[in-house]
Amino acid sequence: MKKFDKPIYITRPLLPDRTAVNKLFDEIWQSQWLTNQGQKHNKLEMDLQEILDVPYLSLFNNGTIALLVAIKALDLTGEVITTPFTFPATTHALEWNNINPVFCDIDENTLTIDPKKIEQLITPKTTGILGVHVYGMPCHVDLIQNIANQNELKVIYDGAHAFNSEINGIGIGNYGDITMYSFHATKLFHTIEGGALATKIAETKTRIDLMKNFGIQNEEEILITGINGKMNEFQAAVGLANLDLLNKERVKRKKILKQYLDNLKDVPGVDPFIIPENIEHSYQYFMIRVKEEYGKSRDELHRSLKEYNVFTRKYFFPLISNLPPYKHLESADPENLQVANKIVEEVLCLPFYGGLDLMEIDDICDLIKEIRES
Ligand code: T4K
């Protein structure tokens, strides 16, 4: 079996043309305006609002702070029902708001929070539902909204992986009360670190913008307990330059996805995660489930690929409900989270970014086939 002569990572960031970035940086120098709702920030906010097809957008210095603010802006308290199958930031954002996360099992097909199991978890203390569009697969947004309406709950979506995802042509940020996006370096679109909140409610946008700037209304009025969530001009400049690369990158990732699917379709026990056709793909991750018929465990495959210089990731292992800060919770009992506890042992994200060429994808798939037979 052929070992790659350089490490192949799960992702590599988009790197815009340095001349283009330098030009934007020169403009920042001339303006002497480095942060606090500068011109670049404002332009990027408007551009992204259009690209993401959302009524209102607010940029942030990262996705985690954005999520903290979303929870506070909606005045959530007590308990919030959420998925255990996510990156730690989702659940930590609840804890940092002194809210008890209540874990709900996931749907085996979408891997998002299972709406059939939400209602039984609602108590008088429940104030909201926090779903995650994991790997860019949308939650069951209509069913969740019905439950929320019937029980007077707010809905927040963690859309860290769902940049540009659409359901039947509607931007993902139009669902729920607030949607968070992450623009971290590992994301399809990035501002090095960064994020945003989308909402369709004008007053919520006003509250979010106040909150991300310490609650400052003007020099003499500080209205609420805000925080510093501002995106600076350098982050925004990198974002603006990256916007020019976005379409090409998506086209490349689309080809890579097809190459993986063609190569892996007949490998027993390798089950690629498919985004349905009515969903605009976010091209953020390519995940396979490694099942019993593969003959080796997910962990064995993950380890073996490393020996060949292929660094896959077990996103999102370990399950959040099994982590020290959360495992004591009643809702963290694995008996109630059987699907999530099973799935988390099967998932493996393969290298997925435009810088890979199709022959490298063939080689990765050959390794997966050969490891199975070894
Ligand atoms: N909610 C969800 C569902 C999320 O997935 C995330 C973040 C958040 C909330 C929070 O959003 P942010 O506050 O981050 O905006 C990475 C990212 O740091 C994190 O943003 C992302 N999710 C998570 C899924 O992935 P790590 O710890 O796995 O990253 P790391 O450093 O191991 O990088 C992965 C690979 O990427 C490296 O092996 C190589 C490559 N890489 C990475 C960086 C940073 C590069 O080639 N260059 C780079 O600069 O968390």
**Half-sphere exposure of residue 120: CA atoms within 13 angstroms, side-chain side:** 9
Are the beta carbons of 194 and 59 closer than 8 angstroms? yes
Mean pLDDT (whole number) for 186-195: 98
**pLDDT score at 329:** 98
pLDDT tens-digit readout, 99-135? 999 999 999 999 999 999 999 999 999 999 999 999 9
Give the pLDDT score at 275: 94
82 lines ligand 1 (CB under 6 A): no
Q: Express as a percent the part of the chain with pLDDT over 90.
A: 99
For the whole model, what pTM was predicted?
Answer: 0.98
- Residue 10: CB within 6 Å of ligand 1? yes
**Over residues 148-163, mean pLDDT:** 98
Q: Mean pLDDT throughout 349-367? A: 97
Q: Measure 273 CA to ligand 1 centroid, in angstroms.
A: 20
What does the H/E/C string look like for 234-262? HHHHHHHHHHCCHHHHHHHHHHHHHHHHH
Instruction: Confirm or reject: Cβ of 235 under 6 Å from ligand 1.
Output: no
Mutational pocket test of ligand 1: of 184, 186, 227, 317, the residue with most ligand atoms within 8 Å of the beta carbon: 186
Mean pLDDT of all residues belonging to the chain:
97
Which residue, by CA, sits nearest to atom 17 of ligand 1?
186
Query: Where residue 349 falls among pLDDT bands split at 50, 70, 90?
Result: very high
Q: State in Å: Cα 182 to ligand 1 middle.
A: 10
Average pLDDT of the segment spanning 176-184 = 98
- Residues whose CB is less than 8 angstroms from the CB of residue 9 and which lie 6 or more positions away in sequence, other chains included: 311, 351
What is the average per-residue pLDDT within 88-103? Answer: 98
Mean pLDDT over residues 22-49, rounded? 98
In a mutational test of the pocket of ligand 1, which residue from 87, 192, 197, 310 has the highest number of ligand atoms less than 8 Å from its CB?
87
Which tokens sit at 211?
A: 């909150």
What mean pLDDT is predicted for residues 31-46?
A: 98
| Ligand 1 close to Cβ of residue 158 (< 6 A) | yes
Q: How high is the pLDDT of residue 237? A: 98
Residue 43 pLDDT class (50, 70, 90 cuts) = very high
CA triple 341-95-87, angle to 5 deg? 40
Task: Say what the pLDDT of residue 2 is.
Answer: 83
User: 132 and 176 in contact (C-beta within 8 Å)?
Assistant: no
**If pLDDT is split at 50, 70 and 90, which confidence band does 1 have?**
confident
- Residue 140: the pLDDT is 98
- Look at ligand 1, atom 50, and give the residue with the nearest C-alpha: 186
Per-residue model confidence as pLDDT tens digits over 266-287: 999 999 999 999 999 999 999 9
Distance 106 CA to ligand 1 centre (A): 23
184 C-alpha to ligand 1 centroid (Å): 7
Q: DSSP secondary-structure letter at 310?
A: B
Give the pLDDT score at 303. 98
**What does the pLDDT read at residue 101?**
98
Q: What is the pLDDT of residues 295-332, one digit of tens each?
A: 999 999 999 999 999 999 999 999 999 999 999 999 99
Q: For position 60, what pLDDT does the model report?
A: 98
Residue 218 to residues 32, 117, 128, Cα–Cα distance (Å): 21, 45, 31
**Residue range 200-236, pLDDT digits in tens:** 999 999 999 999 999 999 999 999 999 999 999 999 9
C-alpha 186 to ligand 1 mean position (Å): 5
Question: In angstroms, rounded to a whole number, what is the distance separating the alpha carbons of residues 335 and 337?
Answer: 6
Q: Where does the pLDDT of residue 18 fall: very low under 50, low under 70, confident under 90, or very high at 90 and above?
A: very high
pLDDT of residue 75: 97
